[in-house]
Amino acid sequence: MLIAFQDRLRLPWRGGAKRISPAAVAPAFIVPLMLGLATLNSKTAVVLMLTLVGFTGWGMQVAKRTATRTNFFLSWVVFSVVYMIIIFEFQVPLLELSPEENYALMFFSCAALYCLYSTKALSSLNLVSAQYGTTPKDELPGIAEASSGEEQAEAQITLQMDSVLDVDEMVDDSSERVDLMHGQPNICESCRKVTPRRAYHCPICGTCVKRRDHHSYWLNCCIGERNYVWYICGLILSEIALLLGANLTLTSICHPFMVVRPLGYPVLLPDDCSEVFESFELGISFVVACYALLISGYIAFILARQAYLWWKGSTLHEYKRSTHAAGRGNRIWSLWRAIIK
């Protein structure tokens, strides 16, 4: 369906009609419709939130299976942020919030958006340029024409490795080369050239990426050498902004209670939220706060995964590949991979 939606729509524009993808526009309608319907009652809200998780998870699996480059998920992020800010600023009863609380939330939101924007803007610097290598000899026309016996042997070994991967992994990794022999060049079969160490091919970007971690569908770019730090900072700041926004919203519309009072500043948590579905204003604020908590849970999971990989000194790409190569826990790994990919 996503692929079918990828086809053309045109918008009248100065200097000629501008082509737009329906997949990039769809979230502008799906997100507010879903949030609006969820305000009806608590059961509808739970069903819609679960549907949302299932729908985005399924959409991402389809995009991964078909190695589709789509703006659908990036658009989803952009419109979710826009609607959350609008609801927070115009619906949540601001009288109960101090200006400092609002400024703090805006600061973290803007900082997070800047980091995520930089992640995307810098992603092109991760791509292995066509000129990589110091001599024309480095730009090999193909594996079959690899000049040395060692290169052909490496290509043969990696081809054998590919043959044991499952279909899903084939889409992701079929064309990358592993630095099996220390000091030997990596050769990418798809790009048909020598690539730097720890550079891996991304089938969605269609090129090799330096120190590739993974392809982020939510940002529609690869996370690698030059944008990894921005990506992690963006996630941490997003997590803070989402949790702060959800807390400020819920303690405004529900009956709050004080947890601690460090330095004379009360830290509140929501207590009784039973009356939030009695009006649309309270309902939409509550639903958006729950939506923010849902996203923050997902980001917390990604951050925990990245912390584990940092501790292991590996990228997500290398970790998945090494687990495959070791043949450990195939069934459990398949299930785990289906969740985290």
- Residues at the interface with Zn ion (CB under 5 A): 188, 190-191, 201-202, 204-205, 208, 215, 222
CB of 169 to Zn ion, least distance (A): 16
Can you tell me which residue has the tokens 């610097």? 125
Kindly tell me which of 221 and 246 has the beta carbon lying closer to Zn ion. 221
User: 210 vs 215, which CB is nearer to Zn ion?
Assistant: 215
- Name residue, tokens 């997590």: 239
Distance CA 89, CA 327 (A): 51
Which residues are CB-contacts of 122 (< 8 A; sequence separation ≥ 6)?
226, 227, 230
Which CB atom, from 177 or from 290, has the smaller least distance to Zn ion? 177
Encoding tokens for residue 90?
Answer: 């115009």
- Name the minimum Å distance from CB 130 to Zn ion: 11
Q: How far apart are CA 315 and CA 308, in angstroms?
A: 10
Q: Which residue lies nearer to Zn ion by CB, 126 or 252?
A: 126
User: What is the secondary structure of 72-106 as a DSSP string?
Assistant: HHHHHHHHHHHHHHHHHHHTS-GGGS-HHHHHHHH
Distance CA 327, CA 73 (A): 32
**Minimum separation from the CB atom of position 311 to Zn ion (A):** 24
Q: How far is the CB of 4 from Zn ion (least distance, A)?
A: 22
What is the closest distance, in whole angstroms, from the C-beta atom of residue 302 to Zn ion in the complex?
16
Q: Which residue has the tokens 């900072």?
A: 233
Q: Which of 332, 337, 296 is nearest to 316 (CA)?
A: 337
Could you give the CA distance from residue 19 to residue 12 in angstroms, rounded to a whole number? 9
Q: Between 176 and 239, whose beta carbon lies closer to Zn ion? A: 176
Q: Identify the three-state secondary structure at position 164.
A: coil
Minimum distance from CB of 81 to Zn ion (Å)? 22
Instruction: CB nearer to Zn ion: give 3 or 53.
Output: 3
Nearest distance, CB of residue 75 and Zn ion, angstroms: 17
Residue 122 or 282 having the CB closest to Zn ion: 122
Contact partners, residue 192, CB within 8 Å, separation at least 6: 139, 140, 141, 142, 143
Q: Are 39 and 52 in contact (CB under 8 A)?
A: no
CA–CA dist 333, 325 (Å, integer): 12
